[in-house]
Structures are given as C-alpha cells and as structure tokens.
Amino acid sequence: MTLRYSRVIPAAVLLILAVVGILLLELPAKEVEVPPEHMYGIVLDAGSSHTSMFIYKWPAGKENDTGIVTEHSQCHAEGGGISSYAGVLGGAAKSLKSCLDKAVKDIPKSRHNQTPLYLGATAGMRLLKIDNTTETERILKEVENKLRSYPFNFIEATILSGQHEGAYGWVTVNYLQENFAKYGFAGRWLNPGRKTTGALDLGGASTQITFQTSDKVEEGDNMMELKLYGQSYRLYTQSFLCYGQDQFLRKLLAHLIKTQGVKPQVVHPCYPQQFKMSIKLGMDVFDSPCTKSYKPDKFDPQMSVTVVGTGDYQSCQAAVMKMFSFDNCSYSKCSFDGIFQPSLKGNFMAFSAFFFTVRNLFSLNNITIASPSKMEAAVQYVCNMTISEITETTKQPEKYMKNMCVISLFIKVLLTKGYRFDELSLPSISFQEKVEGASVGWSLGYMLSLSNMVPAESLSLMKALPPGPWAGILFLFIALLLFALGYLLISLFNTINKEGPV
C-alpha cells in the first residue's frame, strides 16, 4: 500500500503542475471577448488660423492595442482661430458650436458621458499670451465653459507647449505606422523594435521638428523622453514660433516695408508679376509679436499699403533667407536662429501645410522633390507663373494660391538651409496628409498620451514574452504533462500487475 501511494503521489503532483502551467500560459493571453461596440474621443485642435475637431473611435476594451484607434469624423469650425476672438466676448465659444453639435449627433448617445473631450490650443494662443495674458486666460475659460455645457467627459482646454505639440505629432506618426509595438496572435505584445519616423509639422504660427536621436541633446529644452509600451524613446524636438506660414508671411512683409520705407506701395518679389493686393499696416503686418523688431517708430496702423508683385525668384530667395539667422551658434551644431539641432536621423513624415504646399507644387509642374536641386527647379517654375496660370491649373482660390511661390520657397529654405536636409536625407521625407485614413497632426498623439492609451509600462510580463521563449516554456510544460501521464500510467499498471487479480 505505502509503496503504491509513494509512486502515484509525485506523478499526480507533476500532472497537476503541468496542467496549471499550461493554463497559466494560455489563459491570461486570451482577452475576454467583448461585443464590438466602439468607444469615442474628441479632440479640438485650436490652431492660429482655424479650429478643427477630430472624433476618434476604437473597439471597447482594446484601447491599449497599437494602431486600433481610427478617425471617425472631422469638422472644421467656421471663422478664425480662437485667438482671433481677442476682445470679442463669446466669439471663441460660439465658433465651436457647430462642430460640437455635430459631435453630439455623430457619437451614439449611450457613449456620450464616456467620451473624453479635449481642446489643445497652439501657437496662435501662445502669441496672444505674449501680448495679453488676461485676454488669453479669458478666452480659455470661455471655451472651457462652452465645452462643459456638452454631455461629454470634459478633460481639459489648454495651451500646448511647442515641445508637446512636436512630441504629440511624433506619437501620431509612429502610432499610425505601428512603429511602437504590435499586438500579435494569441493576444500577446510583440515588439518588433522598428525604427521610428521623425515628424515635421507646419502650422499658421509655428513649425515643429521632432525625431528620435542617440546624440547628446545639448539643450535641455529640446529633449523629450517618452515611455510608450514599456520602451523609452529619446526625442529631439524644437518648435519655431513665428515660423508658421502666416506669421512668416507677415515677417517677410514687415522686412520689405522696413527696407523700402513706409510708402503707399511696397514691391514684393515673391508675388506673381502684375499681382496686387491691399493690406493694412496694423492688422495685417505689425499687430503681432513676430513683427515687433521690424516696427517703424511712427506709423498709422489704419494705413493701407498696396503690395505689388514682381515675380523675381532670386530676389525672393534673398529676402526669404534674410528671415533666418545662420550665425551665432553656441552649441556644436545648430539649425538656425542659434537653436541646437543634432544630426538628422531616419525617415521623416511632413504633414499639414508641408503636405498641402508640396501637393500643389506637384500639381503645377509634376516634379517630385526628390532632391534639393529638383525642389529648386519646382519652386523656380512656380515663381515664374502668373496668378491665373496657377489658379487655373490647381483649381483653387487665389486667396491661397497667391502664396504658392513664397511658401514653397520658404519651405525649401527651411528644409534645406534651416534643418539641413541634403541629397541623401531630403528623399527620406514623405509628405502625407493621412495614414490609414487618419489625419496626421498632433491631436491623435495628444489624446493617446493623455488617456494613457500608449501606456508607459508594458502590459503583463506574460503577454510581453516574445513568441520564442513563450513557445519554449509551453513546450516544457507539455513535455512535463506527457511525462507525468506516462509515469502515472506505468506505476498504476505495475501496482495492478503486482497485486494481481483478487
């Protein structure tokens, strides 16, 4: 009897161990199935020139999977950016109404109170804050009250720093390209250790460059450390205030007025020949912190000035170059205006105004800007066109198309002279508006980061095991199970044989 139990017990213990082991490996990796209902999130991108609303959605309970969040819909608010309502009580709040009403209809009612609502304001509000802090705070508060009056889960209405704007854009790009981690079969995280893509954003009032670097970041303000799915990323990020396309145009105009003197006419080499437009010195030129250093001592802000285009590529380039300062670098290397920048690394994605300008440039002359010389040729071609040639080819309003030459030249100088993209690195930039149907910009990355949908820690160790070791351990437990079963059978067989039939 004692002999019999002493053989069966260890075998039974082994058997239980093996079964428990297999269950432990298999069970946590299988997600509980949930009905395919969606969750939603709303981000208002309050830019300097206008506000856009993005509604995102993802399958309920799967928020931590990469690449699972998609864009449900978007809405463009009428009128200017919220900063343009300085001094207009209720104006900023009213400008958001039509988009928020659309969100109420777009999102199923049962999900309203679980839908996070964020508003991030960027360089337009950063500039207003330099001029008038109290008015900036008042607009933010007014907008917040408006957002709170809707049935959603209001999270915040805030001004993003330039560094955060850059970093969130980078998160969006790499999330949409699934560069962070992949949710593999059997519900386990596989980290492919893929290279990340740098982000280039061009707005109305600022521009951002952000990329992963292993170089020493010599200026603390340019350094951002992110932890996503348990991995650390060291980013270099820089936001250039006043280098968004609208503020850049203002600065260029201010520079030309300063050099030519305050007169009823200003000659502008970057506008097409025979092109004329009328501007007001205050509202259109000098009412901005970006043009402060060009301000004449005495001028009438109400004075109208006629801008006359000459379509002169060389003079335009010379004027555009003057807007950048390439000396006085106190670090080992700089991009421009004395700002540190490590060596460019990896591929880049350029979006927002970069994308729209390059798309229009291509539609005008079919030249892909695969090298600095091709880019030069493409821009030169456009700068020699008349305004009617441009509008007829692109089928877009003169309001935007008049700036094709100057904005293309600005982008060319910014990328090749400012950031120093060259023969090798310029072709690594892909100009895109969307990836997998979602708009590329900072707003998705902002929502993902604030809602912890790109968690800092990796998910449970069990899920994080790469497929190789995981399969190995499973194999060991199965071998143990077979061994225990065999042992148990043999010892039972032996005992029956020994005792023999009764």
* Binding-site residue set: 204-208
Tell me if 135 contacts ligand NAG by CB under 6 A.
Answer: yes
DSSP sequence for 412-468: HIIIIIIS---TTTGGGEEE-SEETTEE-SHHHHHHHHHTTSS-SS-S-HHHHS-HH
Tell me if 64 contacts ligand NAG by CB under 6 A.
Answer: yes
* Torsional sign, CA 292, 295, 300, 306: negative
Nearest alpha-carbon partner for 409 in 314, 496, 340 = 314
- Do strands 51-59 and 70-76 pair parallel, antiparallel, or not at all (unpaired)? antiparallel
How far apart, in Å, are the Cα atoms of 336 and each of 59, 200, 209, 379? 44, 16, 12, 22
The one segment of 132-140, 208-216, 422-430, 470-478 that binds ligand NAG by CB under 6 A: 132-140
DSSP category for residue 32? P
DSSP category for residue 23? H
> Residue 144 or 287: which CB sits closer to ligand NAG?
287
Tell me if 90 contacts ligand NAG by CB under 6 A.
Answer: no
DSSP sequence for 470-481: HHHHHHHHHHHH
Tell me if 282 contacts ligand NAG by CB under 6 A.
Answer: no
CA–CA separation, 282 vs 321, rounded Å?
Answer: 24
From the list 10, 12, 22, 63, which residue makes contact with ligand NAG (rule: CB under 6 A)? 63
Residue 87 CB, nearest approach to ligand NAG (Å): 3
From the list 76, 457, 475, 494, which residue makes contact with ligand NAG (rule: CB under 6 A)? 457
Residue 122 CB, nearest approach to ligand NAG (Å): 20
Residue 35 CB, nearest approach to ligand NAG (Å): 15
The one segment of 114-122, 163-171, 393-401, 452-460 that binds ligand NAG by CB under 6 A: 452-460
Catalytic residue from among 33, 63, 71, 165:
165
Which residues are within 8 A (CB) of 501 and not within 5 positions of it... i.e. 6 or more apart? none
The one segment of 130-138, 234-242, 277-285, 411-419 that binds ligand NAG by CB under 6 A: 130-138
Tell me if 86 contacts ligand NAG by CB under 6 A.
Answer: yes
How far apart, in Å, are the Cα atoms of 314 and each of 58, 96, 379, 405, 416? 51, 43, 11, 12, 16
Active-site residue flag, 165? yes
Tell me if 28 contacts ligand NAG by CB under 6 A.
Answer: no
Tell me if 287 contacts ligand NAG by CB under 6 A.
Answer: no
Which helix (H) or strand (E) segment holds residue 57: the answer is: strand 51-59
> Residue 250 or 463: which CB sits closer to ligand NAG?
463
Binding site for ligand NAG (CB under 6 A): 61, 63-64, 86-87, 132, 134-135, 452, 455, 457
- Residues assigned a catalytic role: 165
